[in-house]
Every structure is written in C-alpha cells, then in structure tokens.
Structure 1
Amino acid sequence: MNDGDMTIGTHGMLLLGGEVFYMSHLPMFESPHNFQVILEVSLDDTAGPVVRSHRHVVPEEPYDTFVPDDFPMSELDPRGAGPRRTSITGRISCGHFERKGGQHPPLAERTVANVQSVVYFAQLDVQAEHRDDRELAYLCFGRGGQLYLAHDISAAPDFDQVLTVRAVPGTATNPLGERLPDDEATLEKFFAEHFAVAEPVGIGGRSNRPDQRVVPPETVDASFFATAPPSGFHGFGVQLEAEREVYIETGDLRKPKAHQS
C-alpha cells in the first residue's frame, strides 16, 4: 500500500444481497471519501451464512455495513495504473457502523471480502454545483434475479439511496415508444443476467432531489438510454416497480463547510 496515496481511508460500505453480495461505498463530498463505488464481492464461509440469516436489531437501520481496514480507494479503480485490489478485510455490523448499529456486537470480525468485480467506480467532484433541474438518475445493477437502483450521486447537497426493483413484464419499449419485439421470457432473462456492470437510468419528469426520489411501492417509467436490449435498439424504456428502499442518506452528502460559499 502506498502510504502517500491521498485516497487512503476507512471506507465504510453498505452490504447488500444474499445469493450475490454487493458493497456500495458510503460517500461524502470530502477527501478521501469522495467516491461512488459499487463492488460485487464474495464473503468467507463464516460470514456469508450469518449475513443471510440474521435478524436486524435496529429497526431504523434495516441493512448491514462493512467497515474495512484503511486502504486506498484508488486500488479499486478499474482504469488505475497500479495493481488492482482483490480483497478487503474488515468487520460486518448489523446497521450503520457509526450509529446505533455500531453499538451492538459485530456480526463478523476480520471478514475477508473478495472483490469479484467493480460494478461502478466514479470520483465525486467536491467543487461541483448542485442543480435542481438535473433529471433524477440512477444506476441499475444486479445478478441472480435481483435488480438494484443506486442513486447517481453528482454534486452536493445530494443523497445516497439504494432500492430493490423489478421490471414490470410487458412494459419494455423502444425509443419510439413501441413495444419491443422480444418475448417476455427473453426480457426476463435479460434483466436477470445483464446488469453485472451498472447501467445509467433516467426517471423522466423528476428533478434530482430527495423528495423526488423513487419510493416503494410506486412504479415509474425508466429510460435505459445507454443500454441495448436483446432486439438491438440503442436504448429502451421499461416500467420499474420499487420493492424496498434498502438505504437512504442525505446528511453525509452536504457540502463541507470548507467548500461552502
């Protein structure tokens, strides 16, 4: 590890999944935490079953977090020049590691999370100006039949949100609004297998504010403008049904006082 790397820090992560595990970095608009990163990981044989089977002890924190030993976030950058990090060691908390969840004994200590793939990696610009007129946007990812939406974080003040969603059968259309020729079985397989890497999703008619976010159990019109469906169109639309809001955070994504005008 390069001790002079300015991205070294305690990079707490939201832990998602069961059949397939993901970690989503809990970002801030200050160094070294100004990164939105989503990883697909595998857990060791001790931690995996515990995470899949435990009951949450903090009702307002119905999720788990992973607290790794300090490491440089740059080592996860798929475009980085140096060697790629393949594993992260840390503890798993039931709930937020810095809040009520952190007051309870950890679910697992010294757990090794092996990085299977980098689903998404972006460095956040701490100087960027927030625009309310920016369209609400998400990142869609998932495998094994479970789809997630993570809010696409852009500029402070912003919000971090992760949802589980499902594509509504029979609602996929091409950019002209015409129903896609793919049959429902083909599209169902596509949504179950395609999103190993995060794809951008626009939610039309909504601005980039927490009060405009997608909230279960609503169904929204989603635009996958950079994703080709099986029939080969450039982009498509589909209705997504929000099933569960796994995580929502606004306080950590305000602009730091040092950068406020």
Structure 2
Amino acid sequence: MVTPEADPELAVHGLVLLGTDTGTDSVYAVHMPTFTAPHDFQAVLRVTLDTDTYRTARKRYGTSALFTVSPRTLLLKDLEPGASFPAGLYFGRFGREGELLGEVRVEIEERPYVGHPTEPTIEPPPLRYVLFGREQLYLAHVVTRPPDFDQVLTAQLAGEWLTLAGEQSASTVAIPGRPDDLTSRLHPGEQVTVEGTELQVLAEVYLETADLAGEA
C-alpha cells in the first residue's frame, strides 16, 4: 500500500467548494495551493457531489460562505474529467475551525483551469485572477511567487452578461494598474474594468496568506 510518506507526490489536496447544482449553476472545486510539492499547483474543477448535504448547507448559509473538502490522498494527474474520490465535507476551513458535515464523493466533470506558480517576467507583475462560472461568476487569484496569497471571490458583470462555456469556461484576466500584492488585492464592493467590461466584486469567500508565505 502506497502512503504519502512512501510517495512524495501523494498528498491531501484541500479544495474550496463554490456554487450549487441548481438551474444552470454548477459546483466548482478550487485547489488550495502552497509552494511545496505536491501542492504547488492551482486548479479549478467543475464537479458533482453524491449527496444533498452540501446543497442544503449552501442554501442555508449563502453564496459567500466557506465550504471545503479534504480528499484522501490524490495525485494532480488524477484530477481529470471522469475521475472521482471520497472526501470529508466541512463548513469552514478543514483542519482549522471547520465543522465536519459528513463524507461526500466528488466526481470531476470538467477541469477549466490548471496552472503552476511561476516567476513573473514583468516587474512588478500585474494582479491577475482566474474568472470562471456560469450563472454565478467567481475569481481566484493567480499565485506567482512567495510571499503570495490565495483568494477566492464572488463577482458579477455589470451590463451585458459574459458567457463562459466549453473550453473557455475559465479565463485569466489582469486588473489594470494594480500590482500583484496582498494590499492591492480585490475587495468586496469594488467595481473594476476588465477587458472592457465592468466587473463588480461581491464577496470574499476565502483568503489565505500563511500557506503561501514560504519559499518555493
């Protein structure tokens, strides 16, 4: 039996859950990265869950509440469409203050985005986010180099609705005039222009600095 100690690529990969599976909305799982292998990657997954526990809790606590899942050991290469895995479902951050709600099986429907922290080629690097979602939009900060921060926000577009579908169900956007640092991050209530479209930031679902403070 392979254990995380025997294979350094095997590890528990924490995920932030977003959205619902009602109407045209989807459930998304966003990997919580660090700069230490095998956690040194970012991924946005569109997933389904095998129980109603998350749907019920999300309806109770709202769009911006933090839910996380803590899968058993996984490899990044296993996070492909069609794969599934068991995980503990938490209200809040698992391993800290989170409340265990039960066990779920997560099945991956689509992997809209995957990336690895890289040394910026522009000094200072621009503030960038992955924009994804269907009925509800979300922003996940693109991690570059330590020290950095992990942030997930809910958002909406002012005016004409942006449709993201198929292979373009996620896109990387730069925030004009903003350096890539914690102070300059997006905040709830802001309205910024992204690629000619007004984007309204609604709520901050998740913010983490301690996991990304170390050296790569």
TM-score range, shorter-chain basis?
0.7 to 0.9
C-alpha separation in 2, matches of 1:241 and 1:64: 22
- Residue deviations 1:89-145 (CA, integer Å, cap 9, x gap): 1110110012111xx3x1122x111101001112335xx4797611111111001x2
SS of the counterpart of 2:108? strand
C-alpha separation in 1, matches of 2:131 and 2:2: 33
Instruction: Pick from 181, 184, 190 the counterpart of residue 209 of structure 1.
Output: 181
Q: 1:106-117 maps to which residues of 2 (within 5 A)?
A: 106-109=100-103, 111-117=104-110
Q: Residues 242, 203 of structure 1: CA spacing in aligned structure 2 closer, same or farther, 3 A cutoff? A: same
Contact 1:141–1:198 under 8 Å retained in 2: yes
State the Cα distance separating 1:239 from its structure 2 match: 1.1
Contact 2:82–2:109 under 8 Å retained in 1: no
AA partner of residue 165 (structure 2): H
State the Cα distance separating 1:5 from its structure 2 match: 5.7
Instruction: Pick from 27, 34, 43 the counterpart of residue 28 of structure 1.
Output: 34
AA partner of residue 212 (structure 1): S
C-alpha separation in 2, matches of 1:147 and 1:55: 18
Contact 1:130–1:156 under 8 Å retained in 2: no
Q: Residues 203, 129 of structure 1: CA spacing in aligned structure 2 closer, same or farther, 3 A cutoff? A: closer
1:72 corresponds to: 75
If the length of structure 2 is used for normalisation, what is the TM-score?
Answer: 0.86
Contact 2:132–2:164 under 8 Å retained in 1: no
Instruction: Pick from 204, 208, 211 the counterpart of residue 252 of structure 1.
Output: 211
Number of equivalences: 208
Instruction: Pick from 125, 129, 146 the counterpart of residue 134 of structure 1.
Output: 125
AA partner of residue 241 (structure 1): Q
1:173 corresponds to: none
C-alpha separation in 1, matches of 2:112 and 2:57: 21
2:165 corresponds to: 194
Contact 1:129–1:156 under 8 Å retained in 2: no
Contact 1:138–1:150 under 8 Å retained in 2: yes
Q: Residues 124, 134 of structure 1: CA spacing in aligned structure 2 closer, same or farther, 3 A cutoff? A: closer
C-alpha separation in 2, matches of 1:55 and 1:205: 35
Contact 1:220–1:240 under 8 Å retained in 2: yes
C-alpha separation in 1, matches of 2:193 and 2:58: 31
Contact 1:7–1:32 under 8 Å retained in 2: yes
The structure carrying a bigger helix percent of its residues is 1
SS of the counterpart of 2:58? helix
C-alpha separation in 2, matches of 1:107 and 1:132: 44
Unaligned runs of 5+ in 1: 78-83, 170-186, 224-236
SS of the counterpart of 1:50? helix
SS of the counterpart of 2:183? helix
C-alpha separation in 2, matches of 1:255 and 1:130: 20
Q: Residues 152, 132 of structure 1: CA spacing in aligned structure 2 closer, same or farther, 3 A cutoff? A: same
RMSD: 2.5
C-alpha separation in 2, matches of 1:96 and 1:132: 33
SS of the counterpart of 1:100? coil
2:43 corresponds to: 37
Q: Residues 114, 99 of structure 1: CA spacing in aligned structure 2 closer, same or farther, 3 A cutoff? A: same
Report the structure number with the largest CA radius of gyration. 1
1:99 corresponds to: 96
C-alpha separation in 2, matches of 1:42 and 1:71: 17
Q: Residues 91, 97 of structure 1: CA spacing in aligned structure 2 closer, same or farther, 3 A cutoff? A: same
Does 1:50 pair with 2:9? no
Does 1:159 pair with 2:149? yes
SS of the counterpart of 1:211? coil
1:181 corresponds to: none
AA partner of residue 93 (structure 2): H
SS of the counterpart of 2:211? helix
